[in-house]
Amino acid sequence: MVDLSVNLGGLAMSTPVATASGTFGYGFEYLGALDYSKLGAVTAKGIRLDPWPGNSMPRHAEVPGGLVNAIGLQGTGIDHFLDITVPHYMDQVKDAPPMIVNIWGGSIEEYAEVAKRLTEASQGESGRVIRAIECNVSCPNVKEGGHTFGQDPEVLRRLVSAVREKTTLPLIVKLAPNVPDIRLYVKACEHGGADALSMINTIPAMVIDIEKRRPVLANRTGGLSGRGIHPAAVKLVYDAHKATNLPILAMGGVYDASDAIEFLLAGATAVAVGTATFTDPSVAGKVCDGIADYCARHGFSSVGDLTGALQD
Ligand SMILES: Cc1cc2nc3c(=O)[nH]c(=O)nc-3n(C[C@H](O)[C@H](O)[C@H](O)COP(=O)(O)O)c2cc1C
């Protein structure tokens, strides 16, 4: 029997497979479509303080090797999330996997406030499922010039430390892939007090309708996810792992167990399945089974031994 449990910076996961934010709703929408016991965690769609409408339609374009989306972080806001969504998740999903709550904001103060609310909630009944915070830093810093938080190491460090001050929950920082040297951002997260990293978020992208001579997405640009970004994500995980001891939750084009195992060998502690769920809602369970099978075939009694086991 292979031990599939891992610890992601204080988040105990029964398997190394999670779902990626924005691709698995708020955790209950896929009930009946897959075996939830195969999930070590569910990551909820991004939450901020107030409800947010997201971008205008169209917001998706399918491309060879993936998907370009510009949903624009549509969400219900923290009150609705805590009062309705989390109780519904606990009620509907038997033995609910721990939830990683993905958060975002327009200012450092907003991130810190959302983290505080989640931490307070986790000290009550909701603590059965609210077990970690994941900061999405790929959104504009409205208060300080509009660049994304994840693209300036010093701003990133300040953001992480402000959130750290407000939470005792495991703090995962989700890094932006489009930076010149990922190690600077990894170090900024370490200095800010992060417990773990997650990577990668989508890669900036654009699709043009040549007949109309217009961008396909109403927002003009969006983020590329899916198969096509996988090798780039593996390289970033590999570089980040060499620069830090922080555990890494890896994502980007996981469609089967071999994609996931690549991430683990490159240095990830766990993986998240995202866009692949849209074509096969049960895929995360298959990824989990495939990892267990690989471990058994290669003589690994614990999946944790795969982390960074690349023969360089
Ligand atoms: C439709 C869609 C919505 C997403 N929403 C979020 C989000 O709210 N917060 C976030 O941090 N990442 C979000 N992401 C990024 C994914 O969590 C993931 O990092 C990325 O898609 C790469 O993984 P994949 O190739 O397996 O999809 C979203 C991705 C997609 C496709």
200 Cα to the center of ligand 1, angstroms? 9
42 Cα to the center of ligand 1, angstroms? 13
Among candidate residues 139, 189, 288, 295, the one labeled active-site is 139
Positive or negative, the CA dihedral 206, 210, 213, 218 is negative
169 Cα to the center of ligand 1, angstroms? 22
Query: What is the spatial distance between Cα 76 and Cα 89, in angstroms, rounded to a whole number?
Result: 15
Ligand 1, atom 22, lies closest to the CA of: 252
Q: Which of 201, 254, 273 to mutate to test the pocket of ligand 1 (most atoms within 8 A of CB)?
A: 201
Residue 140 has pLDDT above 90, yes or no: no
- Tens of pLDDT, residue by residue over 101-125, are 999 999 999 999 999 999 999 999 9
- For residue 144, what pLDDT is reported? 81
Residue 141 has pLDDT above 90, yes or no: no
Pocket of ligand 1 (CB under 6 A): 20-23, 45-46, 67, 69, 71, 73, 102, 136, 174, 201-202, 225-226, 229, 251-254, 274-276
Decide if 295 is catalytic: no
Helix axes 153-166, 108-122, angle to 10 degrees: 30
Residue 255 has pLDDT above 80, yes or no: yes
**Residues 131-144: what's their mean pLDDT?**
90
Domains in the chain: ranges and CATH: 6-48+75-204+224-306 (3.20.20.70)
Percent of the chain with pLDDT over 70: 100
CB 107 within 8 A of CB 141: yes
- For residue 312, what pLDDT is reported? 73
Q: Which of 4-13, 45-54, 145-154, 242-251 has the lowest mean pLDDT?
A: 145-154
Residue position matching structure tokens 């970004």: 229
Shortest-distance atom of ligand 1 to CA 273: 26
pLDDT band of residue 73 (cuts 50, 70, 90) is confident
**Residues 150-158: what's their mean pLDDT?**
96
**Residues 6-11: what's their mean pLDDT?**
98
- For residue 117, what pLDDT is reported? 98
CB 10 within 8 A of CB 41: no
Partners of 103 in the β-ladder: 47, 135
274 Cα to the center of ligand 1, angstroms? 6
Ligand 1, atom 6, lies closest to the CA of: 22
- For residue 279, what pLDDT is reported? 96
Positive or negative, the CA dihedral 238, 242, 243, 245 is positive
Residue 308 has pLDDT above 90, yes or no: yes
Q: Which two tokens stand for residue 209?
A: 């309708």
Percent of the chain with pLDDT over 90: 95
Count of residues making up the chain = 312
3-state secondary structure 2-39: CECCEEECCEEECCCEEECCCCCCCCCCCECCECHHHC
Residues with Cβ within 8 Å of 218's Cβ and at least 6 positions away in sequence, in order, are: 55, 56, 57, 58, 59, 70
- For residue 146, what pLDDT is reported? 77
Per DSSP, the chain holds a count of helices (H) and strands (E) of 9, 16
Residue 139 has pLDDT above 90, yes or no: no
Shortest-distance atom of ligand 1 to CA 198: 19
Has this prediction a pTM greater than 0.95?
yes
Q: Which of 202, 207, 251 to mutate to test the pocket of ligand 1 (most atoms within 8 A of CB)?
A: 202
- For residue 143, what pLDDT is reported? 79
Ligand 1, atom 3, lies closest to the CA of: 22
Ligand 1, atom 21, lies closest to the CA of: 225
201 Cα to the center of ligand 1, angstroms? 6
Residue 197 has pLDDT above 90, yes or no: yes
Q: Which two tokens stand for residue 62?
A: 């399918």
pLDDT band of residue 70 (cuts 50, 70, 90) is very high
Residues with Cβ within 8 Å of 1's Cβ and at least 6 positions away in sequence, in order, are: none
Residue 142 has pLDDT above 90, yes or no: no
Averaged pLDDT score across all residues of the chain: 96
- For residue 89, what pLDDT is reported? 98
Q: What's the longest Cα–Cα distance across the chain?
A: 57
**Residues 15-20: what's their mean pLDDT?**
98
- DSSP string spanning 235-252? HHHHHHHHH--S-EEEES
Q: Where are the alpha helices (DSSP H) in 123-213?
A: 153-166, 182-192
Residue 131 has pLDDT above 90, yes or no: yes
72 Cα to the center of ligand 1, angstroms? 11
Report the SS3 class of residue 296. Answer: helix
Q: Which of 234, 275, 278, 280 to mutate to test the pocket of ligand 1 (most atoms within 8 A of CB)?
A: 275
Report the SS3 class of residue 96. Answer: coil
**Residues 249-257: what's their mean pLDDT?**
98
